[in-house]
Amino acid sequence: MAQQQAQVKFTAVKPQLMVKTPKAVDAVNFYKSAFGAVEAGRSACCPPPTAEQNLPNILCAQLELAGCSFVVYNDDSAPQKIEGIGNQLCLETDDVEAAISKAVSAGAVVEGEVTEGGGACCGGRVGKVKDPYGYVWLICSPSNKCAPVEA
């Protein structure tokens, strides 16, 4: 078992954003227009849309952004209020202001001011937007890293 464990390889890390059913389609469109995310696929378990439906009845979709993937899915247990709880997603960009402006144009709401070096984990400039589904995104300039420290 120890040998098997040592061979464990992960092929992807994907944040999963649940949204209140049936908002997943709206959320996918929002992340496309706000952040330029590209839809990579929908799960095979998604039921096909029917003729009666104006919107495809997706369960979840995989989006790609800056070389990473994240998943948006419908969930009836999605909390209404998640602000400040759990993990946040940070987006790095060289133009924080333009990124915030674009997100706001798509329906996000600015949270606070853009600060200089305010975030422990972010680069020089850090702003925050809350999307229409309750998730807070940090928009920041690339972080300055120091060398790993042997712990």
Give me the least distance between CB of 109 and its own copies, in Å please: 17
Give me the least distance between CB of 113 and its own copies, in Å please: 19
Burial 78-102 (b: 16+ CB within 10 A, else e): beeeeeeeeeeebbebeebeebbeb
- CB-nearer residue toward its own copies: 66 or 113: 66
Q: What angle do CA 54, 59, 62 make, to 5 degrees?
A: 105
- CB-nearer residue toward its own copies: 105 or 113: 105
- CB-nearer residue toward its own copies: 36 or 113: 36
Can you read off the two tokens belonging to residue 8? 């464990």
**Long-range contacts of 9-13, Cβ-Cβ distance < 8 Å, separation of 24 or more:** 12/69, 13/68
Can you read off the two tokens belonging to residue 104? 């706001």
- CB-nearer residue toward its own copies: 29 or 114: 29
Give me the least distance between CB of 17 and its own copies, in Å please: 5
For residue 140, the cross-strand partners are: 92, 126
Give me the least distance between CB of 128 and its own copies, in Å please: 12
DSSP 8-state code for residue 110: E
